[in-house]
């Protein structure tokens, strides 16, 4: 087990989108929390295609602190892509990702590093209370996580933020997952490494408004659902089976009526054969669609090029 006193190289990955004027404050706030710690810090700011002077703010920060690296993306690729860019460029023993709006308290960094030192691969922060609770955000987040956990094999806690520490092994595993639609929380939970959850109180944004528009929230939810679950593809297959069950029920009913000799009084002529053909044909079509869906799902899993396994350690 690595000793607590080891002088880790720690990379802080901070994606920012239109946070001009805020990044200077964030940087000062983070420095106040980490400068006294006995670790080597490096700051990787990722400018996610901002168009409001964030680039200039970041240049100021970089000029004042040699430990700062600024990555500029060509356009606004989104939070998850920006985080991935920063993580890909990291070299530290520990990589901590956090938001650039002051909502992820930098005072927790020390505890995160200590937990990694104790042998955890991943330290995941979980928002348990929030200064200015947006009821809508909390409600959608709770429902979304319950739904996602129900339909996918991964287990995610509600309020899990993109505020977390990863050790080098977890970072390398994440880099080995080159999929395009990225939902990092899910991917990290999928890796199965030893992780611990650290609850925190989320303060209000330092300035400005949330950069997660409704459209962006929707895209993240769809990336999470469709890249973590093949269940939507099985809808065709299961509805085909339901139609076959209906066909069987209808046929048994018709047979029972004809054996009891009162078909004419209950059923219009031609109804039985028409219904039987309709139910069976729909069943066959849906099952075939379901099969195609399953093949599409398998192709989808292949093209994600996720590793088939991840090693815990080599003895």
Binding residues for ligand UDP, rule: CB under 6 A, are 15-17, 19, 48, 76, 78-79, 82, 99-101, 103, 210-212, 216
Give least dist CB 179 to ligand UDP, A: 18
d(CA 49, CA 71): 10
**Rounded distance, CA 286 to CA 240, Å?**
5
CB under 5 A: which stretch of 43-51, 100-108, 255-263, 267-275 binds Mg ion?
A: 100-108
Q: Does 48 bind Mg ion (CB under 5 A)?
A: no
Smallest separation (angstroms) from ligand UDP to the CB of 214: 11
User: 250-255: long-range contacts at Cβ-Cβ below 8 A with a sequence spacing of 24 or more?
Assistant: 250/275, 250/276, 250/279, 251/276
Answer yes or no: are the C-beta atoms of 182 and 80 closer than 8 Å: yes
Residue 235 near residue 41, CB atoms below 8 Å: no
User: Rounded to whole angstroms, what are the CA distances from 289 to 85, 127, 172, 285?
Assistant: 38, 41, 38, 6
Helix pair 214-228, 79-88: axis angle to 10 deg: 70
Q: Which listed option, ligand UDP, Mg ion, none, makes contact with residue 141 (CB within 5 to 8 Å by class)?
A: none
Nearer to Mg ion, 17 or 183 (CB): 17
> Pick from Mg ion, ligand UDP, none: which does 279 bind, CB < 5 to 8 A by kind?
none
Contact 279, 243 (CB under 8 A): yes
Residue 223 site contact among ligand UDP, Mg ion, none (CB < 5 to 8 Å, cut-off depends on kind): none
Specify the residue, 210 or 301, whose C-beta has the smaller distance to ligand UDP.
210
One of 80, 90, 103, 154 touching Mg ion (CB under 5 A) = 103
Residue 15 or 117 with smaller CB distance to ligand UDP: 15
Identify what 293 binds: Mg ion, ligand UDP, none; CB under 5 to 8 Å per kind: none
CA distance 23 to 12: 13
CA-based angle 304:222:292, to the nearest 5?
A: 60
Nearest to ligand UDP of 103, 189 (CB atom):
103
Distance CA 223, CA 227 (A): 6
**101 near Mg ion (CB under 5 A):** yes
| Least gap, CB of 197 to ligand UDP (angstroms) | 19
Binding-site residue total for Mg ion (CB under 5 A)? 3
Q: Which does 16 bind (CB under 5 to 8 A by kind): ligand UDP, Mg ion, none?
A: ligand UDP
Would you state the structure tokens that stand for residue 232, as one six-digit string?
Answer: 């939507």
With CB cut-offs between 5 and 8 Å by kind, which of Mg ion, ligand UDP, none does residue 78 bind? ligand UDP
């Amino acid at each position: 087990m690595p000793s607590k006193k080891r002088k880790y190289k720690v990379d802080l990955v901070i994606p920012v989108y239109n946070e001009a004027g805020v990044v200077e404050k964030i940087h000062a706030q983070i420095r106040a929390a980490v400068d006294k710690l006995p670790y080597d810090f490096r700051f990787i700011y990722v400018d996610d295609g901002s168009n409001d002077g964030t680039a200039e703010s970041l240049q100021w920060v970089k000029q004042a602190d040699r430990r700062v690296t600024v990555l500029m993306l060509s356009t606004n690729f989104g939070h998850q892509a920006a985080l991935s860019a920063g993580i890909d460029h990291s070299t530290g023993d520990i990589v901590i990702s956090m938001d650039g709006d002051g909502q992820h308290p930098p005072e927790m960094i020390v505890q995160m590093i200590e937990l990694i030192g104790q042998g955890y691969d991943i330290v995941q922060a979980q928002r348990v209370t929030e200064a200015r609770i947006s009821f809508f955000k909390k409600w959608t987040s709770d429902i979304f996580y319950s739904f996602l956990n129900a339909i996918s094999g991964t287990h995610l806690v509600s309020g899990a933020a993109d505020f977390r520490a990863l050790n080098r092994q977890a970072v390398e595993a994440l880099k080995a997952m080159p999929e395009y639609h990225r939902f990092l929380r899910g991917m990290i939970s999928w890796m199965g490494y030893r992780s611990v959850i650290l609850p925190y109180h989320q303060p209000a944004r330092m300035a400005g408004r949330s950069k997660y528009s409704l459209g962006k929230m929707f895209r993240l939810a769809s990336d999470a659902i469709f890249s973590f679950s093949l269940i939507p593809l099985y809808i065709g297959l299961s509805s085909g089976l339901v139609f076959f069950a209906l066909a069987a029920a209808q046929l048994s009913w018709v047979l029972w009526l004809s054996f009891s000799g009162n078909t004419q009084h209950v059923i219009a002529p031609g109804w039985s054969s028409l219904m039987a053909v309709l139910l069976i044909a729909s069943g066959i079509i849906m099952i075939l669609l379901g099969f195609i869906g399953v093949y599409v799902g398998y192709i989808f899993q292949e093209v994600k090029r996720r590793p088939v396994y991840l090693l815990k350690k080599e003895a």
